Amino acid sequence: MVETRFSKFLQKLGFSGADHQYEPLETGELETLFDEQYELKEIERERAVVALTPKDASKCNKVELARIFYVDFQKGLSEFAVTHRRLVHGWNEFVTEKSEPMWKRYLEQFKNPLILLLLASALVSIFTKNYEDAISITMAVLIVVSVAFIQEYRSEKSLEELTKLVPPECHCLREGKLQHLLARDLVPGDIVALSTGDRIPADIRLIEVTDFQVDESSFTGEAEPCNKTDMQLKGEGDHTTLSNIVFMGTLVQYGNAQGVVIGTGESSQFGEVFKMMRAEETPKTPLQKNMDNLGKQLTLFSFCVIGVIILTGWLQGKPILSMFTIGVSLAVASIPEGLPIVVTITLVLGVLRMAKKQVIVKKLPIVETLGCCNVICSDKTGTLTANEMTVTQLLTSDGLRAEVSGVGYNGQGAVYLLPSKVVIKDFSNISVGKLVEAGCVANNASIRNRTMVGQPTEGALIALAMKMGLLNIKDSYVRKREIPFSSEQKWMAVHCKPKKEEQEDIYFMKGALEEVVHHCTTYNNGGIPLPLTPQQKSFWQEEEKKMGLLGQRVLALASGSNLEQMTFLGLVGLIDPPRVGVKDAVRVLSESGVCVKMITGDAMETAFAIGRSIGLCTKRTSTMSGKEVETMEPRQLAEHIGKISVFYRTSPKHKLKIIKALQDSGAIVAMTGDGVNDAVALKAADIGIAMGKMGTDVSKEAANMILVDDDFSAIISAVEEGKGIFHNIKNFVRFQLSTSISALSLIALSTVCNLPTPLNAMQILWINIIMDGLPAQSLGVEPVDKDTLRQPPRKIKATILNKALFVKILLSASVIISGTFFIFWKEIPKDNTSTPRTTTMTFTCFVFFDLFNALTCRSQTKLIFQMGFFQNHMFLYSVLGSLLGQLAVIYFPPLQKIFQTEDLEVVDLMFLISLTSSVFILSELFKLCEKVCFASKNAQIHLASV
């Protein structure tokens, strides 16, 4: 359009042959041309507007802001400006990348080496016409893959949930009118109006405030609402100190404000979190790595078996092709196709048991990962603490001290006068009573049905009044007016008229000590006002510092008939205290080899006070700030991080760096949190644990586990379950591999020795049913051994099939092979032909060996008498069912024809039972020897240390 007009303009100035003449422009055309040139400049200017970082915006004054964003604060942006800025900055929303098609994600589940090995064995079974094996293996693979896919699909919603932070609507000033718009329409430079209850729609630099407070706990971890100002800031500071900036997704707690949008969508601070989450991949769990390794080990084992069989047959002069077929069949038989199913069932049952303990697990392998977790990083606010401000200490103006018990917004607890520990109620102590009365009356909060409405600090003062029995003292006054709190004056007051007519009006005031004392001329001494002296002011200032060093927020209270002649009443110390049971949980975890670290956005004093109270640290040298984390190199941080227990003033970026440093140092890290600021760390950690009640949607979706009741101590049960599950998987692997090696070796031996096959196809199938069926799978549901929590976390590099387990597998297999081959050799006729009695005795001997082997495989370390025969009911039922099934195969005529068996005498059965019990007896003796050797070794270490 503009180019066309400009071409026309040039044509008007063009030449006509040799005797050219200028053609004059018409007035309207000239104006249009200038308008369009001006419009081009306007477009360039609008597109040049950039988003500001919060730190840069906080240092700008209002004139500079108006110039940078080309906006009139009284009129807002024009629709023209909005349109062109949106072309540059996009919509105010988070756009997730298109995910892979579901079919492709489903196929990716087949990349597991063990799954690929099983599929290969199914293919070989088809070529060798063992269709039953092929079908059973394929079904097992499909079940395992489908369960894993469903779990992954349900848990990968972190980025989608982040979009819920952006509110659907907001109030925006455009073209001189306050409009109701969708929050996604905002662009940098928009003027937004904010009021109580609004969720901040973008990063905003405030330009006008009225008693404005914002709850930033989900972003910074601070329990208290932040007072905001519109003043220009000077000097450096982190996000928690930017008092003239409000961030997307936080909540307006009180007051009204106007501000200019400085960052939208991915240019906002939550956009930074979004980009970090998108870049972060959930690490593979130790169990997944172990299963991969086991798959590779079994593949190698299978190829070795094939090689040995083919080589032996070739040396004996047998046809290579037939020996290859036998070798492949035996290798396929040796692969435990039931292993993935048992692992899945074991994990599912672990998840169900944890659900009963109010712990929800979203990814199956995470259950086992807890068994090797050796570091738990925890957010403070809402996780280690209840995110409920509580009064813990009182200091009256006449020097009396009192401590307050009970946590949260309720009347549970009492006020004790120190040092006598006498419980104070009502006005039994006039000085304490007047202090609590002032806090209750100068208050806008309320508590109903254990729910607090209002500001956390005021809620804590109401809870204090409830403990004192003074909650109804508020009804003794009629409020005339309120002087609200502001960040400049740092106090609030109420003007009240007592309902008793003979009493005069009274003011109650609360706020910062230096401001409240400035309005006081007297102090309360047992109900009598006495003149205030400089020495007393100094004394209270020292006390305030001491309380502050304990991490407490300190409020001063006063009352009087005149705002300039108030009577000082004393100090109140508040803190967001640790949750009940957290201290004991930290101690138990530490004793079991799990190190607990606290990562918070709070100040050092508060963080250190909470850390010390729950037993995390005793010295300030155990603390580190977010700034220090930021300046350290990753390698340097990984070296020092083991000595640090408390990290304070941290941002999401710092938390992520801490998690990565711990992982680089070889730790398996669990991260607990409840806020948006925890989401990136929750996703990056090996185990992300979110709070169920107080947690944000983003933190819950980013996490692998959710503590439904926000109970930190529930992690102990989860760790115990994780350790128990890995032991159960090892028990199953021992049983199945010892059985499969025995069956494999028995057939291989008979082949090498030119003997008839000791077992027919149906008998091998029955043994496979026991090996992969209920007796085997019941080992996966063995109840968790209570001693497991005392064991140190499992090393990440420790494999399922380690040296100790392999020795036990070989011990059991050698006993089974020797005993079964002895029976086969004993029962075979002199002409080396197989008879029904031969196969029946050999078959029954092998099955009995299997059942006794399963009994000893219930634990790797504990004797059966220590565990108890009746602890695992499923195991008892499955063994009994297998035993009855074996007897039916021997004695039931229709099954005798199918399995080619014949009746055995009772003497035969007794002989077989006495022989096959040897695998159980030898394994139990081996455990006993291990226990004695271990105890002796520990005693020597103890003596050496003494």
**What does the alpha-carbon distance between residue 463 and residue 389 come to, in Å, rounded to a whole number?**
10
Helix (H, G, I), strand (E, B) or coil at 791: coil
Helix (H, G, I), strand (E, B) or coil at 554: strand
Other Cβ atoms within 10 Å of 444 Cβ, number: 17
Residue partners of 89: CB distance under 8 A and separation at least 6: 51, 187, 188, 264, 265, 267
**What does the alpha-carbon distance between residue 114 and residue 105 come to, in Å, rounded to a whole number?**
18
Other Cβ atoms within 10 Å of 866 Cβ, number: 12
Q: What angle, rounded to 10 degrees, do the helices at 320-334 and 286-315 form?
A: 150
DSSP single-letter state for residue 184? G
Helix (H, G, I), strand (E, B) or coil at 508: strand
Dihedral over alpha carbons 544, 545, 548, 549 (to 10 degrees): -150
Instruction: Tell me the Ramachandran region of residue 506: left when phi exceeds 0, alpha when psi lies from -120 to 50, beta otherwise.
Output: beta
**What does the alpha-carbon distance between residue 538 and residue 555 come to, in Å, rounded to a whole number?**
16
Q: Is 908 an annotated catalytic residue? A: no
Compute the Cα dihedral for 102, 107, 109, 111 and give only its sign. negative
> Edge-to-edge, what's the strand order for the sheet holding 375-379?
359-361, 705-707, 687-691, 669-673, 375-379, 595-599, 646-648, 623-625
**What does the alpha-carbon distance between residue 374 and residue 719 come to, in Å, rounded to a whole number?**
10
Alpha-carbon distances of 241 from 216, 238, 490, 544, 610, rounded to whole Å: 12, 6, 17, 22, 21
Contact 653, 678 (CB under 8 A): no
Contact 838, 829 (CB under 8 A): yes
**What does the alpha-carbon distance between residue 917 and residue 939 come to, in Å, rounded to a whole number?**
33
Contact 648, 221 (CB under 8 A): no
- What amino acid is encoded at 67 in this protein? R
Which residue in 889, 854, 681 sits closest to 158, CA to CA?
681
Cβ neighbourhood burial of 878 (10 Å; 0-12, 13-18, 19+): buried
Query: Which of 215, 379, 674, 697 is the catalytic position?
Result: 379
**What does the alpha-carbon distance between residue 690 and residue 694 come to, in Å, rounded to a whole number?**
9
Token pair of 459 as six digits: 């809620």
Helix (H, G, I), strand (E, B) or coil at 336: coil
> Which residues does the annotation mark as catalytic?
379
